[in-house]
Amino acid sequence: MKTGISTSSFFLREECENAIVRIKELGAECAEIFLGTFYEYRPEFAKTYSRLAEGLEICSIHALPTNFEPQLFSDSRRVRGDSFYWLDRFLRSAQIFGAKKYSFHGYISGAAGAMDYDKTAGYMREICDFAARYGVDICLENVCWCMYDRPSIFKELKSRCPRLAAVLDVKQARRSGYPLNMYIEDMAGSISHVHISDVDEKGAICLPGKGLYDFEEIFRRLNGAGFDGPVIIEVYGQNYGDYSELRWSLDYLNEIIYKLNF
């Protein structure tokens, strides 16, 4: 395992191109780039941005999920066509960054009623095959308000869409009300990377090591599920104070990984 930080952890504190510089300064091994606007999805932006990220491994890339992802599942060919246009822009940017993974939310939970696994998987196969042309894997993330809002969904879709990979989000698992281990078991063997955070005694999100989670146990469970990839700190800008706290959290996680020899 290795540790990194998502640029989303700097949202409303730094623009994403400045956030990647901060992440390099903090000594992270890798990063996830969160692009949140159509302006940022353009390859022209990525070319400028990638120079700032030089020397840092970009393990994954993330879009603002409501911008175009839900429309990839539309029954309207024109709506889907526009969405694939932006997916193409986004994936060309991923190529420029050297990112091989795309943290994907899909459509809003309940927007299409009860999930029709065969229909949804058909769309997912098309999306995954399209991304594969750019050398990028689609990694479905568990999110309490999106299509992967409960355990078992990933396994059902994976059985119909073999290219599909997964992203485990610790805070979203907690918000869903299902035990974290149920998601780990559902994704076992297919987890690309993990979005990690902690929670304090008041139920507020905080940096790993500042809250109640037993990360040794979490990492053991992940290892038992065949995971040996990036562990990415993903919190919000208001969940910590000084940037030195991010460095402290990185060191905390690295010490656990070293102790466990993962």
Mean pLDDT of 120-135: 98
Residue 52, pLDDT score: 93
Query: One-letter amino acid identity for 69?
Result: E
Mean pLDDT of 125-150: 97
Residue 214, pLDDT score: 97
Kindly indicate the confidence band of residue 111, based on its pLDDT and cuts at 50, 70 and 90. low
Q: Can you tell me the distance from the alpha carbon of 209 to that of 211, in angstroms, rounded to the nearest whole number?
A: 6
Q: Can you tell me the distance from the alpha carbon of 119 to that of 9, in angstroms, rounded to the nearest whole number?
A: 34
Residue 114, pLDDT score: 80
DSSP 146: B
Q: Can you tell me the distance from the alpha carbon of 5 to that of 108, in angstroms, rounded to the nearest whole number?
A: 26
Tokens encoding 43: 């390859």
**To the nearest 10°, the Cα dihedral for 37, 38, 44, 49?**
10
Residue 222, pLDDT score: 98
Q: Provide the 10 A C-beta neighbour count for residue 64.
A: 16
pLDDT at 112 over 60: no
Q: Where are the domains of the chain?
A: 2-260
Span 59-110, pLDDT tens digits: 999 999 899 999 999 999 999 999 999 999 999 999 999 999 999 999 998 7
61: which strand partners?
33, 102
Residue 58, pLDDT score: 97
Q: CATH fold of 2-260, please? A: TIM Barrel (3.20.20)
Q: Can you tell me the distance from the alpha carbon of 212 to that of 201, in angstroms, rounded to the nearest whole number?
A: 7
Residue 83, pLDDT score: 97
Check if the beta carbon of residue 165 is closer than 8 Å to that of residue 128.
no
Span 203-237, pLDDT tens digits: 999 999 999 999 999 999 999 999 999 999 999 99
Residue 109, pLDDT score: 87
Distances (CA, A) of 76 to 63, 72, 81, 106, 108: 22, 9, 8, 16, 17
Span 152-192, pLDDT tens digits: 999 999 999 999 999 999 999 999 999 999 999 999 999 99
Query: One-letter amino acid identity for 229?
Result: G
Determine phi and psi for 58, rounding to 5 degrees.
-100, 100
